[in-house]
């Protein structure tokens, strides 16, 4: 485990449970690693616009300064993903979905011809596979239930760009009383311990 990319999306900052679980993961590591941190609340990405897509489709040598600036949002995001050996993504549940700032990041790493392509037999992901760990924190209970809209979406999206070695750490029932929250966090930390050992092997 050499290079770790951390993507935080909790609007609660350091108090966010997904952020704290990621820190637990780092503390549980028994090997040294270089860590790149991306806090999507501190480094906010705008909603995707056609002008930005147009910049992607313009050869780099022909881009205006404005196009080069907006294209760099995607170029930098993709380069960070490509350079990482492991990606840790904090995914709190907001109104049954992923945080909008996280979706904005997804929109920057899905690039036709760079992270995926369409073929006669369907889409093909172009990213080199690597472990991606999602720290899914929820106020209620959703895992394996119809209302869990996050997990199928995350699997579909990351598989689409070539990342299939996916792991999920769930902490649910966090708003269902102190006892429920403590039990969920204890179970998540135990899973983190097993996962760090597995990924370091």
Backbone angles phi, psi at 3, to 5 degrees: -115, 125
Element (H, E) at 135: strand 132-137
What pLDDT shows up at residue 13?
A: 87
Do the annotations mark residue 94 as ligand-binding? yes
Q: Is 119 annotated as a binding residue?
A: no
Examine the pLDDT at 1 and tell me if it is beyond 80. Answer: no
Q: Does an H or E element contain 87, and which?
A: strand 86-92
Using a pLDDT cut of 70, give the percent of the chain over it: 99
Hey, how many other C-beta atoms are within 10 angstroms of the C-beta on 179?
9
Q: Is 173 annotated as a binding residue?
A: no
Do residues 155 and 166 lie in contact, with contact meaning Cβ atoms separated by under 8 Å? yes
138 known ligand binder: yes
Q: Is 93 annotated as a binding residue?
A: yes
Q: How confident is the model at residue 62 (pLDDT cuts 50, 70, 90)?
A: very high
For residue 54, how far is the Cα from the chain centroid? 25
Checking if the pLDDT of 197 tops 90, the result is no
Q: Is 61 annotated as a binding residue?
A: no
Pairing status of strand 34-39 against strand 166-171:
unpaired
Q: Is the pLDDT of residue 72 over 70?
A: yes
- Report the CATH number that the domain containing residue 132 is assigned in CATH: 3.40.50.360
Q: Is residue 140 part of an annotated ligand binding site?
A: yes
For position 201, what pLDDT does the model report? Answer: 62
Alpha carbon separation from 123 to 53, 119, 146, 163, 178 (Å, rounded): 19, 6, 26, 13, 45
- Total domain count, the chain: 1
Whether residue 200 has pLDDT greater than 80: no
> What is the pLDDT averaged over residues 143-165?
96
Q: Is 171 exposed, middle or buried (0-12, 13-18, 19+ CB in 10 A)?
A: buried
Is residue 44 predicted with pLDDT exceeding 90? no
The band of 169, judged by pLDDT with boundaries at 50, 70 and 90, is very high
User: Residue 54 annotated as binding?
Assistant: no
106 is in an annotated binding site: no
In this predicted structure, the answer to whether residue 67 has a pLDDT above a threshold of 80 is yes
pLDDT in tens, 105-131: 999 999 999 999 999 999 999 999 999
Contact 91, 150 (CB under 8 A): yes
Average of pLDDT values for 160-181? Answer: 96
Nearest to 161 by CA among 198, 108, 121: 108
Domain holding 66, by residue range, is 3-200
pLDDT, averaged across the chain: 94
Which three-class secondary structure state does DSSP give residue 114? coil
Dihedral sign computed on CA atoms, order 179, 180, 181, 186: positive
> How far out from the chain centre does Cα 186 lie?
22
Could you tell me where the beta strands, DSSP code E, fall in 129-199?
132-137, 166-171
């Amino acid at each position: 485990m050499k290079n770790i990319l951390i993507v935080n999306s909790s609007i609660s900052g350091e108090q966010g449970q997904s952020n704290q679980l990621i820190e637990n993961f780092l503390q549980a590591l028994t090997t040294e690693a270089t860590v790149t941190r991306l806090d999507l609340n501190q480094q906010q990405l705008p909603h995707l616009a056609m002008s930005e897509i147009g910049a992607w489709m313009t050869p780099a040598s022909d881009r205006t300064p404005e196009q080069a600036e907006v294209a760099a949002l995607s170029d930098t995001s993709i380069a960070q993903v490509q350079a990482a050996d492991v990606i840790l993504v904090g995914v709190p549940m907001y109104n049954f979905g992923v945080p909008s700032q996280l979706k904005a990041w997804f929109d920057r790493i899905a690039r036709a011809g760079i992270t995926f392509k369409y073929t006669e037999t369907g889409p093909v992901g172009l990213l080199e596979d690597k472990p991606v760990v999602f720290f899914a924190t929820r106020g209620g209970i959703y895992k394996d239930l119809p209302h869990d809209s996050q997990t199928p979406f995350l699997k579909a999206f990351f598989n689409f760009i070539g990342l299939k070695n996916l792991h999920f750490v769930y902490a649910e029932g966090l708003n269902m009383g102190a006892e429920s929250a403590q039990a969920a966090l204890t179970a998540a930390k135990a899973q983190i311990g097993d996962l760090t050992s597995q990924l370091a092997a």
